[in-house]
A and B are shown apart, each in its own frame.
Chain A
Amino acid sequence: MKRAFLGEFEEVVLLTVAILSDAAYGVSITQEIEQKTGRVVGFSTVHTTLQRLAEKGYLTSTMGGATAERGGRRKRFFTVTSAGRRALQEVKQVREELWSALPPQTLQLMGG
């Protein structure tokens, strides 16, 4: 099977969706990333990334019910698909392999 490719930001977004589980939609994802990473992220960037991930098949979405606070507009909730989970697992595994391959003295030099 082809190895999944995830960009760094894509990985962050995908992870955030996984964290928020049932409550993952545009606003909550943006705010969660801001809070967890301290990075200022544009909403449009998040939105575009979500679309891209959905196109790659790592995310699916369903429309929620109407809410008054958004002028009656519905939210689009995202959930991670199994392909998405596998991709996250692979990325994690690659990272861990890389970390474990690091010689101990280098690790020490880095202050780890």
Chain B
Amino acid sequence: MERVTSPNVTTNGGLIMKNQPTPPQWAETLLHWWGHPDTREEVQGDLLELYPYWVETVGERRANWLYSLSALKLLRPLAKPKLSLDYSRPFFLSSDMIRNYLKIAFRQLLRNRLHSLLNIGGLGIGIAASLMILLFVVHERTYDRFHTHAEQIFRVHSLFHFGEQTMQSDRMSARFGPAIQEANAGVLDVVRIGTPRSRVVIKTSPERLFFEDKFIMADPSFLTVFSFPLLTGSAKTALTRPLTVLLTERTAKRYFGQEDPIGETITFNNKLRFEVTGILKNPPSNSTIQFDFVASLKSDPAVERLREGIINEDDVSLNSQYIQGGSYQTFFRLRSPADTANILRTLPALITASGAKGEGIAYLFSPLTSVHLGTNFGDTANARYLTIFSIIAAFTLLLALINYMSLTTSRATQRAREVGIRKVMGAARRSLAGQFYGESVLVTGVAFGLAIVLVWALQPFFYQLMQLDIDSSFVYSTKSGLIALTLFAGCVLISGSYPALLLSSFNPVRVLQGTLNPGKGGITIRQGFIVLQFTVSVGLIGCSMLIYQQVQHLQNRKLGLYKDRMVVVPLAASLTQQYNSFKHSLRQIPGVERVAAASRVLYKEGGSIYFTQSPITKKDVSIHVLSVDDQFAETLEIPWKIKPVPMRLAAPNTVVLNETAVRKLGFNGNPLGQTLSFGNGKTEVIGVMKNFYFTDINDSNDPLALFVAKDTASIMATQGGSLYIRIQPGADIRQTVARIEKEYGTLGAEKPFEYFFLDDTFNSIYKSEARLATLFGLFTAFTLFIACLGLFGLTVFMAEQRTKEIGVRKVLGASVSSIVTLLSKDFLKLIALAILIASPLAWWAMDKWLQEFAYKITISWWVFAVAGLGVVAIALLTVSFQSMKAALMNPVKSLRNE
């Protein structure tokens, strides 16, 4: 095409040399910027060619002028390039391409139904599992953060030594809070919360009568310091008068149904009448302070008198002027956390001024937000377990994502042609990566939808299994939405990354020539994935087996008493007179073997601790006390070490000790006849029981003193007690309990019938361990399932890849079993490697976990052998299904095609 055009031009073109006039630069630049993009090149060229001609014909000045004028006239600043017909460059997000991508994606999903199912199912389950754990973890971590002043609220607790023991208490005397507030400007407000410290029965009518364990009494500031919104009633006047109470919504509904409860009264333990002055919203499930009733703190003296029979005004706890430990949980709202230092500085002087003894007691102020996870006041929450749970969630999710990636990339053969063609047609690597990322978004989206449905469906089951209580308002809050969204974004980001990278990297020439085997691409990475998946699976199986063993070990330990088929029925103090006759009639019920009484329900209700001085060592010893009747030891089959003389058992002023108490008190071998003082009066030791397990605190074997007494003389007469009913072996427990309930009905008791099984109350001590075991078991199953899904997908793919090879081998005489071995061998090697990596890791982790138990199992090697063998067996099953299918295929079929 290139041609010499006219003689003029050639001469002028040849004249362009140094020192020749050049066209004005600015015009050229303008043209470069704003010339029409479609014609910019030739226009610039033409002008450049014309310029020397103009210089020659009309002079340089005029040439400059002509040049600039032409350039200016040719500016087309708003022009857009028209689509050129020969090289179209579509925007990669153009609707046509997106439609094409979607169509291809759906076709892929539909064509490989099994593969899509494994992919989406595995991912969905993984996401669902981690979503549920995350929900739980966030719920635990956001405890008490809903208070408007959450950062300013502090709780005080004390640490003190008694004898050799360190004790802690979060209950302070009545004067404690107010005195500190008066002395420190930094204290904005104080709330004291008291509890009735005995069983509470609330009644509005004979039919509406319930045991209540969430009855608290609080200062009016309860409503301003904390953020528990009042639905009806005035925050100013509520809780100011004695014998007024606020109900929560759910409680109001329970007692009053649809009626308006304001101004109505509720009866407390059949004696006190509280006026309802308002309704509170139910406390959120992530609140440390839980309640159904909030009475005014000024009601406390009345409750205390009812409980203790105190008459003197000065003896009432609320009137105590000492600054020391006491009966009230005390919360402060401080101007800033730094104020705690001031408070601690002024505190000793205040204590001395009040006349209380302050030595040896440390008072600690801790933020309310740290209370739930920071201290151990009988709560099952544990920050470390939360970390473990989070790690499990992360692992499950990671495994699901890895599974997705390895399944997707293993199908690369099928997509390689497509990638090759797309590249030949002009697709850039970036747009291909975009396409595969898009497919990941699609699949992850579907999986996420599945996960949401699963979470929604499994929620009740999960809560029950984990013994959880999470408000539905929390589940549907924006916070949870954000968690889900973040999780989704993270999943998409990770799941899309590797497939997009790998698939878009194929060299189109080699793919289309058939010299590249795309399935081979990233084979090491996929093997790495398998090893990782099975490492986690084996590790988790080992861990969950050990945790299960430990929990079983704890729950089946020798308690020193008989806990099976033991029904415990709490009884009110008002039934004192009827104890004997009731016990007697219970014994008549078919199925009841024995009946005994004790002051409390073991493992459920906290007991009292007395401090007594050993007559031998003169040291103070803290001793748990329990009042029981003379049948107790035999009913619970607690063996005697030194059996008391029958005549003296249940005589006044006598006590029975357990072995630990004997040891701690320093009675070497001969405790009989020693006297001890518990509060008032001296008691004589008349017998020793073998140690039995009685507290709800982990792994303690504490000293215990049993006051054996006839029912009417014991503490049960004033505070109520509980009956221990042993059911005959072989008797129908449900029927027997029904009969007991019927018998109870004849007593005309104010308290509703309630019962516990002793083994249940015992097992509930290990709630958090049992929860961990359940969770571990569950997630082990999850990860193993996901790992097997991945393995299955890979075997299908491998068998497909090697169809020809298998055909040739069979033709040459290979047996089915040799082919199955061939296909399974590679995977088994990887799994063996995984077992080798996982076992020591799991061993190490479990060893650390077991450190905190005094009573623990030893880790035995066979656990890991079993875990490993189990995994090998499951993997083999997974693999052999597919390899059998491949091996049994007719070689003629596989070799004939193509």
- Chain A contacts to B: CB under 8 angstroms: 20, 22-23, 25-28, 30-32, 42-45, 47-48, 51, 62-65, 67, 69-71, 73-77
Which A residues are CB-close (under 8 A) to B73?
42, 44-45
Residue B466 CB within 8 A of the other chain = no
Which A residues are CB-close (under 8 A) to B777?
none
- Cβ-defined partner of A63 (8 Å) among B14, B42, B47, B48: B42
What is the CA–CA distance of A97 and B44 in the complex, to the nearest angstrom? 42
What is the CA–CA distance of A30 and B54 in the complex, to the nearest angstrom? 12
Q: Determine how close the nearest CB of chain A comes to the CB of B360; give it in whole angstroms.
A: 95
Q: Is the CB of A27 within 8 A of B3?
A: no
Which A residues are CB-close (under 8 A) to B42?
25-26, 63, 73-76
Which B residues are CB-close (under 8 A) to A31?
6, 8-9, 53
Q: Is the CB of A42 within 8 A of B69?
A: yes
Which A residues are CB-close (under 8 A) to B138?
none
What 0/1 readout, one digit per residue, does chain B (32-59) give for beta carbons within 8 Å of chain A?
Answer: 0000000101111111111001000000
What is the CA–CA distance of A32 and B301 in the complex, to the nearest angstrom? 118
Q: Which residue of A lies closest to B10 (CB)?
A: A69
Which B residues are CB-close (under 8 A) to A43?
46-47, 50, 66, 70
Which A residues are CB-close (under 8 A) to B74?
44, 47-48
Q: Is the CB of A28 within 8 A of B45?
A: no
Q: Is the CB of A25 within 8 A of B5?
A: yes
**Interface hub of B8, B14, B16, B70 (most chain A Cβ within 10 A):** B70
Residue B1 CB within 8 A of the other chain = yes
Q: Determine how close the nearest CB of chain A comes to the CB of B134; give it in whole angstroms.
A: 61
What is the CA–CA distance of A70 and B42 in the complex, to the nearest angstrom? 9
Given contact pairs A70-B46, A71-B48, A76-B42, a sample of 11 additional A-B residue pairs in the complex whose CB atoms are under 8 Å apart: A27-B5, A27-B9, A27-B49, A31-B8, A51-B39, A64-B3, A73-B42, A74-B41, A74-B42, A74-B45, A75-B42
Given A42-B69, A44-B73, the answer on whether A77 and B46 have CB atoms closer than 8 Å is no
**Interface hub of B13, B49, B50, B69 (most chain A Cβ within 10 A):** B49
Q: Which residue of B lies closest to A73 (CB)?
A: B45
What is the CA–CA distance of A24 and B4 in the complex, to the nearest angstrom? 11
- Cβ-defined partner of B46 (8 Å) among A22, A32, A48, A75: A75
Interface extent on B, as a size class?
A: 20 to 34
Q: Which residue of B lies closest to A22 (CB)?
A: B3
- Cβ-defined partner of A65 (8 Å) among B1, B43, B53, B69: B1
Residue B308 CB within 8 A of the other chain = no
Q: Is the CB of B9 within 8 A of A28?
A: yes
Q: Is the CB of B46 within 8 A of A23?
A: no
> What are the nearest 5 A-B pairs in CB distance?
A73-B45, A69-B13, A26-B46, A44-B73, A70-B45
Which A residues are CB-close (under 8 A) to B45?
26, 67, 70-71, 73-75
Residue B2 CB within 8 A of the other chain = yes
Which B residues are CB-close (under 8 A) to A48?
74
Q: Is the CB of B53 within 8 A of A67?
A: no
Q: Is the CB of B2 within 8 A of A27?
A: no
Which B residues are CB-close (under 8 A) to A30?
46, 50
Q: Is the CB of B13 within 8 A of A28?
A: no
Q: Determine how close the nearest CB of chain A comes to the CB of B109; give it in whole angstroms.
A: 46
Given A25-B46, A26-B46, A44-B70, the answer on whether A73 and B3 have CB atoms closer than 8 Å is no
What 0/1 readout, one digit per residue, does chain B (402-435) give for beta carbons within 8 Å of chain A?
Answer: 0000000000000000000000000000000000
Which A residues are CB-close (under 8 A) to B14?
69
Which B residues are CB-close (under 8 A) to A75?
42, 45-46
Q: Determine how close the nearest CB of chain A comes to the CB of B618; give it in whole angstroms.
A: 109
- Cβ-defined partner of A77 (8 Å) among B1, B41, B49, B66: B1
Q: Is the CB of B48 within 8 A of A70?
A: yes
Which B residues are CB-close (under 8 A) to A25?
5, 42, 46
22 sample A-B contacts, Cβ–Cβ < 8 Å, listed by A number: A22-B3, A23-B4, A26-B45, A30-B46, A31-B6, A31-B8, A42-B69, A43-B47, A44-B70, A47-B46, A48-B74, A62-B1, A63-B41, A63-B42, A67-B2, A69-B16, A70-B45, A71-B44, A73-B45, A73-B48, A74-B41, A75-B42
Given A23-B5, A51-B39, A74-B41, the answer on whether A69 and B49 have CB atoms closer than 8 Å is yes
Which B residues are CB-close (under 8 A) to A70?
44-46, 48-49
**Interface hub of A20, A43, A47 (most chain B Cβ within 10 A):** A43
Which A residues are CB-close (under 8 A) to B39?
47, 51, 76
Q: Determine how close the nearest CB of chain B comes to the CB of A27; give it in whole angstroms.
A: 5
Q: Is the CB of A73 within 8 A of B69?
A: no
Which A residues are CB-close (under 8 A) to B44?
70-71, 73
Q: Which residue of A lies closest to B12 (CB)?
A: A69
Which B residues are CB-close (under 8 A) to A63?
41-42
What is the CA–CA distance of A32 and B8 in the complex, to the nearest angstrom? 11
Which B residues are CB-close (under 8 A) to A20?
5
Which B residues are CB-close (under 8 A) to A69?
13-14, 16, 48-49
What is the CA–CA distance of A63 and B1 in the complex, to the nearest angstrom? 8
Q: Determine how close the nearest CB of chain A comes to the CB of B854; give it in whole angstroms.
A: 87
What is the CA–CA distance of A46 and B32 in the complex, to the nearest angstrom? 19
Q: Determine how close the nearest CB of chain B comes to the CB of A13; give it in whole angstroms.
A: 14
What is the CA–CA distance of A73 and B3 in the complex, to the nearest angstrom? 14
What is the CA–CA distance of A30 and B53 in the complex, to the nearest angstrom? 11
Q: Is the CB of B1 within 8 A of A42?
A: no
Q: Determine how close the nearest CB of chain A comes to the CB of B247; give it in whole angstroms.
A: 84
Q: Which residue of B lies closest to A30 (CB)?
A: B50
**Interface hub of B1, B41, B45, B69 (most chain A Cβ within 10 A):** B45
Which B residues are CB-close (under 8 A) to A74?
41-42, 45
Q: Which residue of A lies closest to B36 (CB)?
A: A51
Which A residues are CB-close (under 8 A) to B49?
27, 69-70
**Interface hub of B41, B44, B69 (most chain A Cβ within 10 A):** B41
Q: Determine how close the nearest CB of chain A comes to the CB of B671; give it in whole angstroms.
A: 112
What is the CA–CA distance of A74 and B6 in the complex, to the nearest angstrom? 16
Which B residues are CB-close (under 8 A) to A45?
73
Q: Determine how close the nearest CB of chain B comes to the CB of A17; give it in whole angstroms.
A: 13
Given A51-B39, A69-B13, A74-B41, the answer on whether A27 and B46 have CB atoms closer than 8 Å is yes
Given A62-B1, A74-B42, the answer on whether A27 and B50 have CB atoms closer than 8 Å is yes
Q: Which residue of B lies closest to A34 (CB)?
A: B57
Q: Is the CB of A65 within 8 A of B2?
A: yes
**Interface hub of B6, B42, B48, B50 (most chain A Cβ within 10 A):** B42
Q: Determine how close the nearest CB of chain B comes to the CB of A74; give it in whole angstroms.
A: 6
Q: Is the CB of A64 within 8 A of B1?
A: yes
What is the CA–CA distance of A64 and B1 in the complex, to the nearest angstrom? 6
Q: Is the CB of A26 within 8 A of B8?
A: no
What is the CA–CA distance of A58 and B2 in the complex, to the nearest angstrom? 22
Q: Determine how close the nearest CB of chain B comes to the CB of A14; give it in whole angstroms.
A: 18
Q: Which residue of B lies closest to A23 (CB)?
A: B5
Q: Which residue of A lies closest to B46 (CB)?
A: A26
What is the CA–CA distance of A21 and B49 in the complex, to the nearest angstrom? 20
Q: Determine how close the nearest CB of chain A comes to the CB of B629; give it in whole angstroms.
A: 111
Q: Is the CB of A64 within 8 A of B2?
A: yes
Q: Which residue of B lies closest to A42 (CB)?
A: B70
